[in-house]
């Protein structure tokens, strides 16, 4: 099901943990979705000196987090902003179709953390404000309902026909 | 490295009697049970003998009440859709419950697309349906109640005898998806008064992709598979005789060993639950503590996600699952667990552990050690666990 | 006494490769292809490899266009009903022909009960449909054309490429029931432009009770079996992996030996037809003389009834049939034969003789002698024969 | 499928043939139905001295004809009139359910032949007039559609839902 690279990053995730006084924090996903990811950045001269993550999620989500931190480490913010979800999936030698959704969390969380750093610098947010949960889809990388593989539109996390309840119980 | 199966709800090996029967059937080169000559006679005999075994397994009065199908899902689809169509002139309302298997849920969703109405009744925190709730949900236009026996995710058993009585009184047909209980627990369709009962072969160590449907005499269904005259004209299509023979052989063993197996399962379950606290904290056991499958445990490990535990345990040589595989492909929190009142996060962290005839307390002990290890690793990564620890420390 | 199978349309033995593959699969104890752990991976691999073989057999572009089913009948029901439901908003009219198999006829009859309209086009005296007749039958509201490839009673092949072209032009989906030709004759769904193609395993010496449906990418169907996520979410239910593996093994052999087998069949057919007049008079050969299954002969013996000949030949060690067994249980004159213009009496006196890879000209010669004998005995009892003789004498 | 007795009578049918100057002839069934049976009677002092049959039909139909002639031979007309289809089926150790229909032909043909004899005696018909095709069902012995096993009403030979054509061809 998973590529060797995915399994390697799942079994030995790189850069796990929290950075005590992080310069930027990005959090994305929620348990409803099944995945939650927090990215911590330590930034010096607009370069990502250190990056750590915490993830609640499936094997793919953990591997994506790990790979993402590897890709971002040492990069300038401008470079890091260009990392896409597709890059992460590619670096992992691909992900199963119904996991592409999860993989989309990775770059989103990184970008959220960078934005958090920039917003703090601009005085827009207090250091411990949490970033909003946002889950947009790239237009080049389609996103699929984790339930039925139907293609999802922007912002959707499940396709409509897979909504849970049949009818209000009597 | 050894590899231990603790995922028997999804995968059971064949009992030797079943695999031998199948190999014999392959070598015997049976004919087509529908053909008019000698070769056909032989095949017909084997088929009808297998049908009689099925009737004995669930105490059906007449073997002709048994129709062989290609899986539990087909049985369910045939029962639910077939009855709905056959009775659509009487009414278009169906009652079910919130924790059914996808085979029932999606068959009903399909019927909704065709103009039927469905009421899904809730379950209590153990996942049990109250027969009185079913009774209240039945309307003038209700034609069918479909409520399963053993739930495939939490193992809970519904009071199907009482539900059958409610249906009988209301003049409504009762279908029971008993895929996960037939062959494991005694079932008596005559005694319980069930009209339609779906079951499958693999849950009792028979081959995969073989099932059967019990249709009480006098209950009319529209066929799901229309065509030739097979299966007393109730299910067209050339029979999978090799599979049917294997199912019958497995059923014979299941009947012979049922009591012994149940005792074995129960003692494993007791052992597991007694030992678990030594290895793990912050967990929940789902389902009803007594009215449940004896070989089934649903365990929610808090603050970690289930698939990642499964994957980690797999690496260590243990097969378990997050939920029943037939529902997998879904990454969403289980509707069954949510229905019992679990939070999304806890539902996401749920494992299904199911024992088989070969499982031993030694295997369980090894498993628990591996589980402890895996959970520790994953909690170290988890933002939810970190938050919970902070909160605890803060208090 | 030896027993010779000349009823291969109803019963073929397994090729050794298929039975070995099945026995191996039984012993391998594959897991559940849907489960998340190692055992599941292995099973998934075997399943997907089998799917690729099927794609090659009919030249499908993408293995995901193949769905495994439990028999030809299920494939047909899934295709016909599934397409009708999926497109019901576009229209409710379906075109078929008068000589289809019961799987198609009765699926359509079911749809009629649900408000669909069906037009059944006639065939010529060889049992062939004219594509222009199909074209004329297509209306604004037509959503589906279902016309088979090889007819199971008379062996006639319809011009499916031309029919597909007519459908393509009209924007109507085309389903082809190719149960009796796939694996015997080359089929190219890409080249022919077929949208839905039903086939089964036993016609090419694979196990009984295993089938598949080709669904062209982009053709949407409602599932017949709703439930879990198996078969790319197109067909729920635990897979009959043992059967699927057997089907794939048989398909490999079928591809390897196809040309050789066809040559063999053709020479047997020539021999049979050349010898027949030496043993029998007053008979008819049904179906198209060239556009037909190479291993199939439909023979109407005048003035006697078919079942009684079958029974008498059975006693002498030869299996033949009156019509395809999947339709048997019916004692009526065949709708296929009547559609080609045969009288009721002649239709009742029809035998289907079908050859297999093991059939030899020696067996055919023995068979013809037995046939001569049986017919003589039965004609001596027949009032129709007596009347015909009197009439002849009178002339 | 068939009992031993059926197979015996099928393989060695008794009383096959035509009686040249028969005193009574009964014919029933037709090829549409798949079975046709002719009974020839040689009657002396109201006793069936000889009886012969010709049958176009399935194994069951042939066995039924043969058994019927055995049962009727030597009986008085009054006795022979009491032979029912059920008696024939019973003497054959039973018949498959979907063949009960055919078995009903047997006694019907015998009764038709007796009636033909009586009608001739009464001067109602010429010796070579054919009896009308009649296929009624006893009320104690249900009759089933040979196509779908549905129960048939009196006079029906096929159940309505099994009627052949789908719709008139275009
Ligand atoms: C033309 C045709 N279609 C469909 C079927 C049904 O296939 P199965 O018996 O595998 O269900 C048959 C039966 O052999 C057939 O000959
Ligand atoms: C309760 C229940 N119903 C139905 C099914 C479907 O059975 P099958 O996979 O044999 O189609 C399952 C699957 O195991 C099940 O657990
Ligand atoms: S982000 Fe993984 S399923 Fe929603
Ligand atoms: S009498 Fe035999 S089928 Fe009609």
Kindly give the distance from the C-alpha atom of residue B71 to the centroid of ligand 2, in angstroms, as a whole number.
8
In the predicted model, what is the mean pLDDT of residues D76-80? 96
Q: Are D40 and D146 in contact (CB under 8 A)?
A: no
- Residue A157: band (very low, low, confident or very high) from pLDDT cuts 50, 70, 90: very low
Does residue A149 surpass a pLDDT of 70? no
Q: Which of A54, A149, A169 sits opposite B381 (nearest CB)?
A: A54
Select the more confidently predicted residue: C379 or A166. Answer: C379
d(CA C134, CA C147): 9
| Closest ligand 4 atom number to CA of residue D29 | 1
Selecting among D102, D143, D159, D162, the annotated active-site residue is D102
Phi/psi at B56 (nearest 5 deg)? Answer: -65, -40
Atom of ligand 1 nearest to the CA of C76: 4
The chain C residue lying nearest B38, using CA atoms, is C314
pTM: 0.90
Whether C325 has its CB under 8 Å from any CB of chain D: the answer is no
Q: Rounded to an integer, what distance in angstroms lies between the CA atom of residue B383 and that of residue A40?
A: 12
Mutate to test the pocket of ligand 2, among B11, B12, B68, B72 (most ligand atoms within 8 A of CB): B72
Element (H, E) at A100: helix A100-121
Q: Which atom of ligand 3 is nearest to the CA of B331?
A: 3
- The predicted pLDDT at position A18 comes to 94
Identify which of C68, C238, C239 to mutate to test ligand 2's pocket (most ligand atoms within 8 A of the CB): C238
**Residue A169 in this model has a pLDDT that exceeds 50:** no
Domain covering A4-127: architecture: Alpha-Beta Complex (3.90)
pLDDT score of C39 more than 50: yes
- Written as six digits, the tokens of A40 are 């911590």
Residue ranges with strand state E in B314-359: 318-319, 350-354
For residue A33, the model assigns a pLDDT of 65
pLDDT at D100: 67
Residues of D in contact with B229 (CB under 8 A): 148
What pLDDT sits at residue D159? Answer: 43
Higher pLDDT, D137 or C253: C253
pLDDT band at A141 (very low <50, low <70, confident <90, very high): very low
Residues C304, C306, C309, CA angle at the centre, nearest 5°?
80
pLDDT top residue among D135 and B342: B342
Separation between Cα atoms, residue C277 and residue C286, nearest integer Å: 15
Query: Of all atoms in ligand 4, which is nearest to the CA of residue D33?
Result: 4
Contact between D159 and D146 under an 8 Å Cβ cutoff? The reply is no
Q: How far is C321 from chain D (nearest CA, A)?
A: 13
- On the CB side of A154, CA atoms within 13 Å amount to 4
Residues of B in contact with A164 (CB under 8 A): 335, 338
Average pLDDT over residues C79-103: 96
Of the residues C28, C205, C238, the best mutation for testing chain B's interface (the one with the most B CB atoms within 10 Å of its CB) is C238
**Rounded distance, CA C98 to CA C107, Å?**
14
User: Is pLDDT larger for residue C335 or for residue B253?
Assistant: B253
Q: What is the pLDDT of residue B40?
A: 80
Contact at 8 Å (CB) between C195 and C58? no
Question: Does the structure show a pLDDT above 80 at D156?
Answer: no
pLDDT: is B18 or B29 the higher one?
A: B18
> For residue D166, is pLDDT > 80?
no
Instruction: Give the CA angle between residues D77, D78, D81 to the nearest 5°.
Output: 80
Query: In the predicted model, what is the mean pLDDT of residues B182-199?
Result: 98
How many helices (H) and strands (E) chain A has is answered by: 5, 3
The pLDDT-based confidence of D43 (bands split at 50, 70, 90) is: very high
> Is D145 annotated in the active site?
no
* Confidence tier at B345 by pLDDT (50, 70, 90): confident
pLDDT range class, residue D151, cuts 50, 70, 90:
low
Q: Whose CA is nearest to atom 14 of ligand 1?
A: C326
Q: Which of A138-142, B135-139, C223-227 has the lowest mean pLDDT?
A: A138-142
DSSP at D129: P
Cβ(C237)–Cβ(C95) under 8 Å?
no
Least confident of A136-150, B225-239, C34-48, C117-131: A136-150
Q: Select from D27, D31, D33 the residue to mutate for testing ligand 4; criterion: most ligand atoms less than 8 Å from CB.
A: D33
**What gap in Å lies between CA C358 and CA C55, rounded to an integer?**
27
> What residues line ligand 4, using a CB cutoff of 6 Å?
C 331; D 29, 33-35, 101-102, 105, 146, 157
Backbone angles phi, psi at D36, to 5 degrees: -145, 135
- Percent of chain D surpassing pLDDT 70: 68
Question: Which chain C residue lies closest to B114 (C-alpha atoms)?
Answer: C85
**Tens digit of pLDDT for each residue in C129-164?**
999 999 999 999 999 999 999 999 999 999 999 999
Sheet-wide strand order for B350-354: B283-286, B296-301, B350-354
What residue ranges line ligand 2, CB within 6 angstroms? B 71-73, 76, 101, 103, 148, 152, 177, 179-180, 200, 211, 324, 326; C 227, 237-238
The band of B222, judged by pLDDT with boundaries at 50, 70 and 90, is: very high
Ligand 4 atom at shortest distance from the alpha carbon of D105: 1
Task: Render pLDDT for D97-121 as a digit per residue (tens, 0 to 9).
Answer: 767 666 778 888 999 999 999 999 9
The mean pLDDT of B11-26, rounded to a whole number, is 96
Share of residues in chain D with pLDDT > 90 (%): 50
Residue C177 touches partner B, C-beta closer than 8 Å: no
Residue of minimum CA distance from atom 4 in ligand 3 = A33
pLDDT at D128: 54
Q: What is the pLDDT of residues D55-73, one digit of tens each?
A: 998 888 999 999 999 999 9
Cβ within 8 Å of residue D33, ≥6 positions away: D135, D146, D157
Neighbours of chain C (3+ CB pairs under 8 A): A, B, D
Residues B106-123 as b/e (b if ≥16 CB within 10 A, e otherwise) read bbbbbbeeeebbbbbbbb
User: By CA distance, what is B236's nearest residue in C?
Assistant: C73
**What are the contacts of B167-173 at 24+ separation with CB within 8 A?**
B167/B134, B167/B138, B167/B195, B168/B193, B170/B135, B170/B138, B170/B142, B172/B95, B172/B138, B172/B142, B172/B143, B172/B144, B172/B145, B173/B83, B173/B87, B173/B143, B173/B144, B173/B145, B173/B219
Residue B227 to residue C76, Cβ atoms within 8 A: yes
Average pLDDT, chain C: 94
Percentage with pLDDT > 90 across chain C? 84
C19 band by pLDDT with thresholds 50, 70 and 90 = very high
- In this structure, is the dihedral angle defined by the CA atoms of residues C374, C380, C381 and C384, taken in order, positive or negative? positive
Closest-CA residue to D136 (of D149, D121, D155, D118)? D155
CA distance linking residue A81 with residue A113, whole number of Å: 10
d(CA B33, CA B260): 36
Is D102 among the catalytic positions?
yes
- Distance from C-alpha of B52 to C-alpha of B255, rounded to nearest angstrom: 13
Q: Is the pLDDT of residue C237 over 90?
A: yes
Residue A165 is predicted with a pLDDT of 34
**Averaged confidence pLDDT in chain B:** 94
Pocket residues for ligand 1 (CB within 6 Å)?
A: B 227, 237-238; C 71-73, 76, 101, 103, 148, 152, 177, 179-180, 200, 211, 324, 326
The pLDDT value given to residue A79: 96
- Which residues on chain B are in Cβ contact (under 8 Å) with A36? 383-384
Q: What number is the average pLDDT over the span B362-376?
A: 97
- SS3 labels along chain C: CCCEECECCCCCCCCHHHHHHHHHHHHHCCCCCCCCCHHHHHHHHHHHHHHHHHHHHHCCCCHHHEEEECCHHHHHHHHHHHHHHHCCCCCCEEEEECCCCHHHHHHHHHHHHCCCEEEEECCCCCCCCCHHHHHHHCCCCEEEEECCCECCCCCEECCHHHHHHHHHHHCCEEEEECCCCECCECCCHHHHCCCEEEEECHHHCCCCCCEEEEECCCCCCCCCCCCCCHHHHCCCCCCCHHHHHHHHHHHHHHHHHHHHHHHHHHHHHHHHHHHHHHCCCCEEEECCCCCECCCEEEEEECCCCHHHHHHHHHHCCEECECCCHHHCCCCCCCHHHHHCCCCHHHHHCEEEEECCCCCCHHHHHHHHHHHHHHHHHHHHHCHHHHHHHHHHHHC
Alpha-carbon distance of B304 to B322, in angstroms, equals 12
Lowest mean pLDDT across A118-122, B84-88, C144-148, C351-355: A118-122
Q: What is the residue extent of each domain of chain D?
A: 4-127, 141-170
**B372: CB partners within 8 A, 6+ apart:** B279, B280
Tell me which residue of B140, B139, B168, B125 sits closest to B336, measured CA to CA: B125
Res. C332 pLDDT band, cuts 50 70 90: low
Structure confidence at residue C322 as a pLDDT band (50, 70, 90): confident
Q: Is the per-residue pLDDT at D162 higher than 90?
A: no
Q: Alpha helices of chain B — where are they, by DSSP H?
A: 16-28, 38-58, 72-86, 102-113, 131-137, 160-170, 189-192, 230-233, 241-279, 306-315, 335-339, 344-348, 361-381, 383-394
Angstrom distance (rounded) from CA D108 to CA B253: 51
Give the model's pLDDT for residue D105: 81
Pairing of strands B117-121, B142-146: unpaired
Ligand nearest to the CA of B176: 2
Contact B119 A59 (CB under 8 A): no
């Amino acid at each position: 099901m998973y590529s060797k690279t995915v399994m390697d990053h799942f079994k030995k995730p790189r850069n796990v943990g929290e950075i005590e006084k992080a310069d930027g924090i990005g959090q994305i996903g929620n348990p409803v979705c099944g995945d939650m990811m927090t990215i911590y950045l330590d930034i010096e001269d607009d370069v990502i000196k250190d990056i750590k993550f915490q993830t609640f999620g499936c094997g793919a989500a953990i591997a994506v987090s790990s790979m993402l931190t590897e890709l971002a480490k040492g990069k300038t913010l401008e470079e890091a902003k260009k990392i896409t979800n597709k890059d992460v999936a590619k670096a992992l030698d691909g992900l199963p179709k119904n996991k592409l959704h999860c993989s989309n969390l990775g770059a989103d969380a990184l970008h959220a953390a960078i934005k958090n750093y920039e917003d703090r610098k601009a005085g827009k947010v207090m250091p411990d404000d949490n970033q909003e949960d946002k889950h947009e889809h790239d237009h080049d990388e389609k996103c699929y309902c984790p339930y039925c593989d139907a293609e999802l539109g922007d912002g959707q996390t499940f396709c409509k026909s897979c909504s849970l309840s049949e009818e209000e119980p009597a | 490295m050894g590899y231990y199966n603790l995922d028997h709800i999804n995968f059971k090996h064949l009992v030797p009697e079943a695999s031998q029967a199948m190999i014999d059937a392959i070598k015997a080169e049976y004919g087509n049970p529908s053909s008019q000559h000698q070769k056909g006679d032989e095949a017909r005999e084997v088929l009808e003998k297998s049908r009689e075994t099925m009737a004995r397994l669930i105490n059906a009065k007449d073997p002709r009440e048994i129709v062989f199908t290609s899986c539990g899902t087909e049985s369910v689809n045939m029962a639910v859709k077939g009855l709905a169509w056959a009775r659509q002139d009487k009414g278009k309302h169906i009652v079910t419950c919130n924790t059914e298997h996808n085979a029932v849920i999606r068959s009903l969703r399909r019927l909704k697309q065709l103009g039927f109405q469905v009421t899904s009744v809730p379950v209590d925190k153990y996942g049990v349906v109250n027969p009185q709730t079913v009774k209240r949900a039945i309307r003038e236009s209700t034609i069918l109640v479909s409520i399963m026996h053993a739930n495939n995710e939490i193992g809970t058993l519904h009071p199907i005898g009482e539900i059958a009585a409610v249906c009988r009184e209301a003049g409504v047909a009762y279908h029971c998806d008993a895929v996960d209980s037939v062959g494991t627990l005694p079932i008596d369709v005559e005694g319980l008064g069930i009209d339609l009962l779906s079951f499958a072969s693999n849950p009792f160590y028979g081959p995969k992709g073989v099932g059967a449907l019990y249709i009480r005499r006098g209950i009319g269904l529209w066929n799901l598979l229309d065509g030739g005259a097979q299966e007393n004209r109730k299910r067209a299509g050339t029979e999978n005789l090799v599979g049917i023979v294997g199912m019958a052989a497995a059923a014979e063993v299941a009947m012979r060993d049922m009591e012994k197996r149940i005792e074995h399962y129960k003692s494993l379950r007791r052992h597991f639950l007694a030992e678990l606290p030594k290895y793990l904290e912050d967990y929940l056991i789902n389902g009803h503590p007594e009215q449940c499958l004896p070989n089934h445990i649903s365990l929610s490990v808090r603050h970690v996600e289930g698939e990642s535990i499964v994957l980690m345990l797999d690496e260590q040589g243990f097969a378990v699952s997050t939920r029943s595989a037939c529902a997998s492909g879904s990454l969403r929190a289980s509707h069954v667990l949510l229905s019992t009142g679990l939070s999304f996060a806890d539902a996401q962290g749920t494992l299904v552990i199911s024992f088989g005839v070969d499982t031993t307390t030694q295997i369980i002990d090894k498993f628990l050690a591996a589980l402890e290890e895996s959970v520790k690793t994953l909690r170290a990564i988890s933002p939810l666990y970190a938050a919970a620890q902070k909160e605890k420390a803060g208090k």
